[in-house]
Amino acid sequence: MSNSNNINLLSTKNNNFINLKEMPDDNVNNLIQKLENNELEIKLSAIHYLNNYKIQKYYDYTNKFGVVYFVSSDNNFMCICYNDYSNLVKNLSLSLVEPKNKLVYNYFDKDHKNPLNFDELGFDAYLKNKNSNKELSKKIEIFKQILHKYSNDIAAMKPLYGNNEFLNYNISKVVIVKDFMKVQQAILFRLSNKLVQVIFVDQSEILLCTDSSEFIFKSKNGEEVSDTLQNGLNGENNEIIKRIKFAKNFMIQYVKSHKNKKK
């Protein structure tokens, strides 16, 4: 198994893994040369890439309105997934450097379609407009309260890039929670980037990618281990085996509950 802080795993389109750690230096240099010459089509292992596009922190308000969560990717975001699975998002990185007429707020309905975009002035103006949708106005009011309440968390989120690279902002790349499910031991988030993130009550977590058979396990002490699901289940780490099995059973329970909702 590999430590996910170092990206040593590459995969082809057929998900055939190449472990750079196990390759002789000459072979690695040859591989790099082929990549630079576009002679070999290869991609970073999906789970390692998506590990940078996950929920970094969340606060549970499901008994009131939903879940507050923070995402650090190529931009920093504060978001709320409301109990109807609609999302309101603020691009914190963009709002640091752009004027107030920049569209830093995005609202996605419960089907995650037809996003509405607001700048700082438009966000406040929507609340003052008597013809505004009352349900959305209530969500905006909640969002503004949460922005104020977690101002310290927002201040602690450092920009990931120092050269304003995050200005290349595309709304289609915003990572949001499509839905979530809670049980006593954990909460499951299904993200829009096809990542399933299960966060346990002891703050350990496991990430599963629906596009590949990989996982990343983060212990309560912050140690990260990554591998294929098959290797994880057949390995000797009982904690990882237990967490993978729990996550898979949790996902089965999640699918069944959503099927019942549609009936």
Give me the amino acid identity at 155: A
pTM assigned to the model: 0.75
Residue 61 within a domain: no
Q: With beta carbons less than 8 A apart as the criterion, state whether 84 and 138 touch.
A: no
- How many structural domains are present in the chain? 3
Best mean pLDDT range from 29-38, 84-93, 250-259: 84-93
* pLDDT for res 111: 85
Query: Are 240 and 182 in a shared domain?
Result: yes
Give me the amino acid identity at 241: I
Written as six digits, the tokens of 229 are: 């699901």
pLDDT tens-digit map of 132-187: 999 999 999 999 999 999 988 888 776 554 444 444 555 556 789 998 998 888 99
CA angle 153, 51, 166 (to 5 degrees): 60
Query: Among candidates 227, 179, 189, 48, which has minimal Cα distance to 197?
Result: 189
What CATH number should be reported for the domain holding residue 213? Answer: 3.30.1120.30
**β-strand pairing of 87-91 with 76-82:** antiparallel
pLDDT tens-digit map of 157-168: 765 544 444 445
Query: Are 155 and 193 in a shared domain?
Result: no
Q: How confident is the model at residue 45 (pLDDT cuts 50, 70, 90)?
A: low
Instruction: Please provide the average confidence, as pLDDT, over all residues in the chain.
Output: 77
Residue 230 within a domain: yes
Euclidean distance between CA atoms 6 and 19, whole angstroms: 11
| Residue after which a domain boundary falls, among 173, 208, 235 | 173
Q: Mean pLDDT, to the nearest integer, of 71-96? A: 84
* pLDDT for res 146: 96
Euclidean distance between CA atoms 261 and 178, whole angstroms: 15
For residue 34, the enclosing domain spans 9-45
Residue 52 within a domain: no
